[in-house]
Structure formats: C-alpha cells, structure tokens
Amino acid sequence: MRKVILMGAFLVGAFTMTAQTEEELKVDLANKKDSIGAIQGRADAIQAQIDALPGWKVGAFGTIGGSISEFNNWFAQGIPNNSSGNIGFTVNAFANLQQEKFFWRNSLNTNLNWVKLDNQDDPNDEDGFRQATDVFNLSSLYGQKLSEKLAISGLAEYRTTILSNFNDPGYLDFGVGATWTPIPNLVVVVHPLNYNFVFANDNTIFNSSLGAKIVADYTRQIGAVSFKTNLSAFQSYESSDLSNWTWTNSFAYTLWKKIGVGFDFGLRNNRQETLNFVRNLAATPDPNATFENLDNEVQSYWTLGLSYAF
C-alpha cells in the first residue's frame, strides 16, 4: 500500500513539475516573441529611413519552377507511355531613383512557362515544350514632388506577350496626373488623362482610346519574406469594352542563403483579348462572337516553385 501511495505521489509530482515547466516555457517563448517583434519594428524603421535616402535603389527576386517525368507501360492512365515536363520562371526587378525634389521608378515583371506532354504511342502529337504562361510588363514613373507624399507624375507602361504573338496585342499607356505615397513601399498612381495605345493585327477588335489610369504597387521585404503586389487598371472614356485591369502578386520566402520557395499568381480582365480568343484562337472559333454576347471570364495564372533573391 505504501508503494502505491509513493508511486502516486511521484506521478502527481512529476505531472505538476512538467506542467509548471511547460507553463514557464510558454511564458518564456511569449517574451522572446515580444522581443523579436520589437527588434523587427526597429529594423523596419531603419529600413524605411534607408529607402528614403537620395540615390538609386535596385533589386530583384524571382521564382523558378519545374518538373520532368516519364512513364512506360503505366496502364492505369490513358497515355501509358509518355514523357512530360513543366518549367517556368518569374522575375520582379526594380530600379528606383529618389531625390529631394523628384523620383523616377522603373519596374519589370515577367512570367514565362513552358509545358510538354509527349505521347510516345502517337507519332503525330507535338513532342516539344509549348508556351503556357506569357506575361511581360515594363513601367516607368516620373514624379515632381509637391510634398513628401504627393507628386505631379507621368507614367509610361507597356504590356504584351513575348513568346508568341509579340505585340499582338501590345498595350502602351501614356498618362499624366498625380502619385500618392502614403506609406513607404506603397505607390498609388491616379492619372485622369491617359491614352491607351493598342497594337494588334485585328483592328476590328482591338482599339486605342482615351481614359483614366490607376496603378497601385506595394513592394516589401520583411526578414526572409519578399513580396510584391501590383494592380494596373485602365478605364476607357469611350467604352467599357476597351477597359482592362491586371493584378499580379509575387511572394518569396528564403530558406537557405538566397534560395527559398516562391509563389506567384495573377488575375486579368480584358474583353478585347477574350473576344479575340473566342473569335480567332479557340479550338472551335465563333466568328459570330461580339462584345454584346461575349462570356467574359477573368483570366488567371499561378506558379509555385523554388525562388532566388538576386
């Protein structure tokens, strides 16, 4: 009986000691997290001061994703003998000049992706890599400062595809208006006077027009995390059919040195591109498609893979 009582007392004591130790460790962990948060806050404040210093600031980060596979006599699937692959990359680069009375911000965003599926039992199928994702965006923003947060600005932005149908279509925006930088790393452009030049072989679908341009860009690095989000929208004064918007997002988390994991996704709405695809590029083209009967769906893409911070 005494042994049972002693054993019970020992277990109760051990449980109490473990509980106390766990509770103490949780308190210690919370204190450490508070300390890390305070250090990060001071580091962010210093980085904001560095970003505000005159001179050029340049940088880039990107994502690389890829896979290769081969199947032989894998009869559980519809194509038992095949080789397939997927490779793609994104690059987000910037070169920004900050001066006391003006700024000049330049950025490049590109996302290219190729895929292949070679059916080895079909000698007539395409066995090479084919273009899958094709995004190219280059912009340049100049601003004459009225205050630390407000400037009169001019913007030139060019968007197209480069792997196929280069500059067909291509979009070139020229506009003037105002740029607002309410917080570091956030740039909001509002240009009520903007001309959207559209370059394309089919001018019955693609047309240039005058309108308003709105751009919001936020680029930030916090410790091992780098991210960028950009919204570029054009609202045509002539017709909503000529309006468009594109929203791109890039995230990169560094795991070792400059190598990590990256994720990119984008959304786009462009009725001219949709109509051109339905009328001319679809597997079963519809020559009777018009802006009025068009089923305009939001376009999207995403890429997940290894990232590298340049």
Amino acid residing at 69: S
Closest CA to 92 of 220, 214, 196: 220
> Residue 83 has what pLDDT?
87
pLDDT digits (tens, 9 = 90+) for 294-303: 888 899 988 8
> Residue 23 has what pLDDT?
73
Helix (H, G, I), strand (E, B) or coil at 265: strand
- Higher per-residue pLDDT: 243 or 12: 243
- Find where tokens 């700024």 sit: 103
Contacts of residue 94, Cβ cutoff 8 Å, sequence gap at least 6: 57, 58, 59, 60, 105, 106, 107, 108, 219
pLDDT digits (tens, 9 = 90+) for 46-81: 666 666 667 898 988 887 877 788 888 777 777 888
Contacts of residue 172, Cβ cutoff 8 Å, sequence gap at least 6: 156, 157, 158, 196, 197, 199
> Residue 37 has what pLDDT?
62
Q: Residue 167: left (phi > 0), alpha (psi -120 to 50), or beta? A: left
Q: What angle do CA 51, 253, 301 make, to 5 degrees?
A: 100
Global pTM value: 0.76
pLDDT digits (tens, 9 = 90+) for 147-204: 999 999 999 999 998 887 888 899 999 999 999 999 888 999 999 999 999 999 888 8
Amino acid residing at 259: I
For the chain, how big is the Rg over CA atoms in Å?
27
- Find where tokens 């070169």 sit: 95
**Cα separation values, 217 from 92, 136, 189, Å:** 12, 16, 9
Looking at the predicted structure, is the pLDDT value of residue 1 above 60?
A: no
